[in-house]
Amino acid sequence: VLLAANWKMYGSPSQLAAYCEELLPKLEGGPHQVVLCPPFPLLPQAVMLCAGSELAVGAQNCHWAREGAFTGEVSPYLLAEMGVSWVIIAHSERRKLFGETDDTALARAKAAQEAGLSVIFCVGETLAEREGGETLSVLQRQTAVLAGLDPQKLVIAYEPVWAIGTGHNATPAQVAEAHAFIHERLQELTGQAVPVLYGGSVKPQNAGELLATPGVAGALVGGASLDAGSFFAIIQAAPVAGAKG
């Protein structure tokens, strides 16, 4: 099972140090794959603190070019050289607030994989789309671009936008339906089985049920990942069968 912490624009060097001090000993010898995605400036410290531990480090975005005149952007090659091994692409906040499109998301994901990073690629419908009965057609469109990616370095995160940061998680039935659809799509597009994570208000109280839902290979956790204790409680709720892929 893969559990990824998305810190979004939260955290500081002192918080990261305290977090790793609490979490790393608990993860030792554990059965799951765990990834921490803090803001860019904390990545070097995270790589240093997590070296030799069970916690891998990921970024929350990257650019599609190796280098260039792209003020404010970060190259996936720089991330890879620094020891970062994962990157989140196309988070709904990037799609909604920062103009991410299916095409720019694909370009970032491709470049990230070429640089050697594994990609957590986010998809998911808005509330209006779900209420309009468009969930599966949105997922169809968002996954259509993924055919060109390396399935070995790809994980999909199904994150219904209405469940992110709202405290309203999707029901296991909704999750199972979306995950089954995404699994089938990815099998069709890449010829391989690609793990699908659930994301959207995963908390210690609902993690057991969500992670045991058919088709769920792990979770992408926002709010509840900021506290080492609650993130570890979510990790502990993950079923051990099928651990580490």
Nearest CB to ligand PEP, comparing residues 156 and 221:
221
To ligand PEP, the closest distance from the beta carbon of 16 in angstroms equals: 17
To ligand PEP, the closest distance from the beta carbon of 178 in angstroms equals: 14
Catalytic residue among 129, 159, 179, 183: 159
Q: Is 91 a catalytic residue?
A: yes
Nearest CB to ligand PEP, comparing residues 80 and 202:
202
The radius of gyration computed from the CA coordinates of the chain, to the nearest angstrom, equals 17
Nearest CB to ligand PEP, comparing residues 46 and 163:
163
To ligand PEP, the closest distance from the beta carbon of 168 in angstroms equals: 9
Tell me the C-alpha distance between 170 and 11, whole Å.
27
Of all residues in this chain, which one has the CB nearest to ligand PEP in the complex?
222
C-alpha of 108 from chain center: 14
Q: Is 183 a catalytic residue?
A: no
Using CB under 6 A, list all residues that contact ligand PEP.
Answer: 6, 8, 91, 159, 164-165, 199-202, 220-224
Nearest CB to ligand PEP, comparing residues 155 and 202:
202
Is the Cβ–Cβ distance between 210 and 216 less than 8 Å? yes
Nearest CB to ligand PEP, comparing residues 143 and 201:
201
Tell me the C-alpha distance between 237 and 235, whole Å.
5
Whole-angstrom CA distances from 8 to 4, 11, 53, 193, 200 are 12, 8, 22, 28, 13
Tell me the C-alpha distance between 201 and 143, whole Å.
22
To ligand PEP, the closest distance from the beta carbon of 225 in angstroms equals: 7
The H-assigned helical ranges of the chain are: 13-27, 43-50, 76-82, 92-97, 102-114, 127-131, 135-144, 172-190, 204-211, 228-237
Q: Which amino acid is at 145?
A: V
Catalytic residue among 32, 91, 179, 183: 91
To ligand PEP, the closest distance from the beta carbon of 221 in angstroms equals: 5
216: left (phi over 0), alpha (psi -120 to 50) or beta: beta
Catalytic residue list: 91, 159
